[in-house]
Every structure is written in C-alpha cells, then in structure tokens.
Amino acid sequence: MRKFLIVAVCCVVLAAGGLWLVSRQGKGPDRDTGYEPATLQDKTGQAEPEKVIDYGKLKDEGDEELNALMKERKEPYGIDKGIDMVVKPDESIKVGNETVQMKEIVDEVRLKQGEILEADLRTGIKEYGPDEYGVYVVQPNDNMWDIHFRLLKEYYDHKEIELSALADEPDRLGYSSGVGKILKFSEQMVHIYNMRERKLDTELGLIYPLSKVVIYNMGNVFALLERINYEDVQRIEFDGETLWLPAEQ
C-alpha cells in the first residue's frame, strides 16, 4: 500500500512539472533575470551601410550627389582643387581599389602624436571629435611643398588676396619669406598615408598609382590660417618647430 502511494505521488509531481514546462513555452525570460530579448541592428534587420567617399566617382564626376556634397563641404574653407575630399571620422575613403575607414587613419595619426587619451585606454572606447579631414590624393611627381602652396594660394584667392607665384621663394639674401615659413610649418601639420600598406608614410614617392594620400585636420590647419594677418606675413618667424605670429596690435 505504501509503495502504491509513493508511486502515485511521484506521478502527480511529474505531471505537474510537465504542465508547467508546457505553459512556459514561447515565453521570454522573466523581467527580473537581467536579460533582454536579442534585437536586430535596425527595424529592417539590416546594418546601416558604410558611407564611402569614392575618389574615382569624384574624379569622373559620375556621382552628382557625391560631387555636390564635396563642394558643399569645401565651400566654408574657400577651397576647391587644393583638396580632393573632405571626410568625417565615421566615413571611409576609396582610392583606386583600396578602401580604408577614416577612423583607422585617425588612430594611426593619434598614436604617432601621442594623443591617445587615458579614457581610451581605460574604457577601450575611442572618442572621435567633430573634426573634418581633408584628403589629397598624391599624383606622380608631386612634392609636399607644391601641394601646400596650391592649397594656400586657393585659400587666399578666396579672401581676394593675390598670392604671387614667387611668394614662397626666399629673398635675395636667402632668407625665407613669410609664406615660405608657413609652408615649412605646414609640413608638420599633415600626414602621408599609404593606402595599400595601411600605415603612415614619410615619403610622397609613388611605386603604385593612387596609393598614397595626404591627410589634413581641417580644423587645425584653417584655424591657424585664420589667425594670420597677411599684411604682417613677412614678420612671421619659424624656428624649425614653432611658428611665431606677430602680436596683435
């Protein structure tokens, strides 16, 4: 009799457990478990497409929308041909067959300059400011001096200041002109990036076409140019590291 009662009780317990499991099917975890249902990246189930600024489409003018965007971004700086693309940190650039995220290039620059913040190391989160970056695609026989001079001339043309083609030449005694000093200092403000090897470079020379770009931090470069009063340009001093501007009167 006792054995019969034990068997009966076990059957009741198993049946109750089975009913409870069936009732739980299709339900998510309780709210107090600390878990949340998995969600898709967006409502359509697709990741947001990467935004790529394609140099080829700009060069061939095959993408009217992209060309209009670049024109709009260049306009506040008063430039056109001096820089090929103005790119934001969350975008990528495509030159030839190579596509590189701008964040990857910015990380390389920041590492070189020792600008990785403690917060980056502590949290592992990389913080990118609202900066815009100018990208010039290096062409055969380019040199850094001429690249900078073309950009500077375009900038002053926009301000209706005529910059002589010889403005960067030294005087009769061999001393650098004010414009020449600006150009020398500018070499410290830009970076050469090798698209094929995905690393910063020190030389402009091309082994492969469309393999290198010059990167400008537009905010830094143009903030400096805005501080220079061209009437005092010949009073500028450069000691090899620092550009000294005349004190404002």
Q: Which domain holds residue 74?
A: 52-243
For residue range 10-51, list pLDDT tens digits in order.
444 445 555 444 455 544 444 444 444 444 444 455 555 679
Contact between 94 and 52 (Cβ < 8 Å): yes
pLDDT attached to residue 60: 81
Number of domains the chain is built from: 1
- If one counts every other C-beta atom within 10 angstroms of the C-beta of residue 135, the result is 20
Q: What are the DSSP calls for 25-53, one per residue?
A: TT----GGGS------SSTTS-PPPPPEE
Residue 193 within any structural domain of the chain: yes
Residue 14 within any structural domain of the chain: no
What does each C-alpha distance from 104 to 79, 96, 98, 111, 188 come to in angstroms? 25, 18, 13, 11, 20
- If one counts every other C-beta atom within 10 angstroms of the C-beta of residue 190, the result is 19
Residue 41 within any structural domain of the chain: no
Stretches in the chain below the pLDDT threshold 70: 1-49, 115-130, 248-249
Residue 19 within any structural domain of the chain: no
Residue 200 within any structural domain of the chain: yes
pLDDT attached to residue 48: 59
Residue 220 within any structural domain of the chain: yes
For residue range 217-234, list pLDDT tens digits in order.
998 899 889 999 988 989
Residue 31 within any structural domain of the chain: no
- If one counts every other C-beta atom within 10 angstroms of the C-beta of residue 144, the result is 16
Amino acid making up residue 104: E
List of residues 6+ apart from 184 with CB closer than 8 A: 176, 238
pLDDT attached to residue 204: 86
User: How far is Cα 54 from Cα 56, in angstroms, rounded to an integer?
Assistant: 5
What does each C-alpha distance from 188 to 40, 42, 105 come to in angstroms? 45, 42, 17
Residue 5 within any structural domain of the chain: no
